[in-house]
Chain A
Amino acid sequence: MQPKTLFDKLWDDHLVVSETEGQPAVLYIDLHLIHEVTSPQAFSLLAEKGIDVRRPDKTWATMDHSVPSLGPDSSKVRPFVDDEAREQVETLISNCRKYGIPLSQMGEKNQGIVHVIGPEMGLTTPGKTVVCGDSHTSTHGAFGCLAFGIGTSEVAQVLGTQCLFQRKPKSMAVEFAGIPPEGTSAKDLVLFMIQQLGIGGGTGYVLEYRGEAIRRLSMEERMTVCNMSIEAGARAGLIAPDETTFDYLKGREHAPKGKDWERSIAQWGNLKTDAEAEFDQVVHLDVSSLTPMVTWGTNPEMVVSIGNSIPEPKSESEWKALEYMGLEARKPIVGQKIDVVFIGSCTNSRLSDLREAARYLRGRRVAQGVRVLVVPGSVEVKHQAEAEGLDRVFRDAGAHWREPSCSMCIAMNGDRLEPGEWAVSTSNRNFEGRQGKGGRTILASPATAAASAVEGCLTDIREWRFV
């Protein structure tokens, strides 16, 4: 048999109709996650055509983007930023009711960021095709799923047929050599990767992350890496499942049980790239001297090692980025004054991220004048964090402990930067205005963000006096 990459196997397993020159493949979708922002128009399209939802049992909905991060007020009402946001959430609720789609509602156990709850509930399992009207669907690739973001009319297609027209992307192996030093995280690793590949480097490809540095990561860390595949232009990023994956999934609510579990593990064990298989492209990245990484500009390839100076701009767009950020070339990035710290998003809002941030904030106070928002990724994460007393750590330090939502990553729910403010953010995009019009985002790991909150400026955790 011809050797195959993991991606080839996932692709071939889901072909309903093979592609020809004149027509893309018809690809079957195993899990469709939906949320309030990119689904309403899809349901309207279905209604216009009189088409029913084909497989509500393979669909799961939650609300995250427009949801307030503030809890209920004295009249037990969640303070939506405006009526439009509330109506969007209500539209999702009524669509789910109409079509019998399971929904994790605000405040319920598994409500939260769609890419946090899928894995948390055990809906995301190896070998599946997973789609969602959200580009960070690449997150689920951490489980050896073919997972990618789609547009709203594709959401309608999947609701109506459980399939999509797709051309097969090319494959790229990202081979990590070496073991990252202590004091670095999965976030630093993926920021380094995007710096090396560039924001368009993965366009047209599905990435497979490989090497010992990847194998040693926990599932939550692997999700952080796969999450940001799209920031290098790749719709999907994959990691072959292994014992770490199986340990994470065992016993989760929707994961297979009993004999099904045994059978599933045996099948999942085959989900790896065959020894002789060839990729369309191979990239080698040495991470043995990785450092904490941060962004200095207005897209996620504009990354610098925290110990280095802000680079000399090489293009007009880099000049513009520096100007927007209010930063100066050749100056150290460490020590840059900040106004806001955001710890959250589908990249870094899981329990391990919160524990890491708490390690730096425990027994300390955030610097005067710095606003710190900690937003857990799901109600489940929130409950676990509170059971460990992490909420007290954050509150005692002077940070805001909020309700699960995308919050300031996309600034749709009222949590946002004011023009000119600098933020250290554990999210995934530093585009102009992403966190609020005129806001300036520095992407970083939870550790860097938390230490910077204490210092009031961008901080190198390797040299931090408190560690």
Chain B
Amino acid sequence: MRPFTQVKGPYAVIPNENIDTDQIIPARFLKTTEREGLGRYAFYDWRYGPKGESNSDFILNQGTYEILVAGENFGCGSSREHAAWALLDAGIRVVISTSIADIFKSNALRNGLLVCQVSRAFHQYLVNARDQGLEVDLPRQRLLVPNGKHINFELDPFAKRCLLKGFDQMDALMDYLNQVEEYEEQH
């Protein structure tokens, strides 16, 4: 995965709560054996109408965004990592919400998609002030808005290290194979 660098720019707001992974990528697109190219299926049933026509009301049809601000409990439902792959392939680098579902969060962070949990108050502020931009400062774990205000977000230090260095957890796990062998001998 590529290292996470600074992200700065406008953000898309999808205020709905409990956006499940079936919305992020409908199951009928999971028959692929590839990881690449899933961006075209991201939010497919929200982006396109019954006859495949583009839904111009939907924010992701109105521009290109690297930052997504979404309602509470984003990414609930299935464990499909395709949800994180699809968002990344669609250009999203950061998801901001008041809470993020466990499996989605772990999938996202392993793939270099930063997920930030923020307070309800700050989330509401972002939703209300949606025409402005936002800067994501990962090293300092801060979100900055144009008036100079900033808010800190929490992040697992391990996930942060992986994001900044762009390294793969698999490689880190391989370093423990001696301990794994010892464990297997004892059990």
Contacts and interface: CB of A to CB of B under 8 A. Distances in A.
Interface in A141-188: 149-154, 156-157, 160-165, 167, 169
Most buried by A among B16, B27, B34, B180: B27
Given A38-B80, A429-B22, 9 more contacts: A65-B30, A162-B184, A163-B176, A200-B18, A200-B73, A317-B71, A412-B27, A432-B45, A433-B23
Contact of A200 (B72, B170, B177): B72
Interface stretch (B98-106, B127-135, B136-144): B98-106
19 contacts: A21-B157, A22-B158, A37-B31, A38-B80, A41-B35, A151-B107, A152-B82, A161-B170, A161-B177, A161-B180, A169-B102, A200-B18, A200-B72, A235-B102, A235-B103, A299-B20, A299-B76, A433-B22, A433-B23
B62 interface: no
B60 interface: no
B169 A82 contact: no
Interface in A90-112: 91
B32 to A, nearest CB: 7
Most buried by A among B20, B33, B107: B33
B33 A151 contact: no
A161 B81 contact: no
Contacts of A154: 106, 110
A451 to B, nearest CB: 28
B76 A133 contact: no
Contacts of A82: 31
Given A150-B103, A153-B81, A157-B173, A41 B180 contact: no
B16 A88 contact: no
B45 A433 contact: yes
B38 to A, nearest CB: 10
A66 interface: yes
A91 B34 CA distance: 11
A356 interface: no
A438 interface: yes
Contacts of A283: none
Contact of A434 (B27, B30, B161): B27
Interface stretch (A44-52, A332-340, A375-383): A44-52
Interface of B: 16-18, 20, 22-23, 26-28, 30-35, 45, 50, 71-73, 76-82, 84, 99, 101-103, 106-107, 110-111, 156-158, 161, 169-174, 176-177, 179-180, 183-184, 187
B80 A163 contact: no
Contacts of A91: 33
B103 to A, nearest CB: 6
Interface residues of A, number: 67
A44 B170 contact: no
Contacts of B23: 431-433
A229 to B, nearest CB: 11
B180 A163 contact: yes
Contacts of A250: none
A352 interface: no
A260 to B, nearest CB: 14
Contacts of A427: none
Given A16-B176, A153-B169, A431-B23, A85 B18 contact: no
B173 A419 contact: no
Contacts of B103: 135, 149-151, 235
Interface string A28-54: 100000000110110011000101001
Interface string A6-39: 0000000000110001111010100000000110
Contacts of A51: 170, 174
Contacts of B50: 419, 437-438
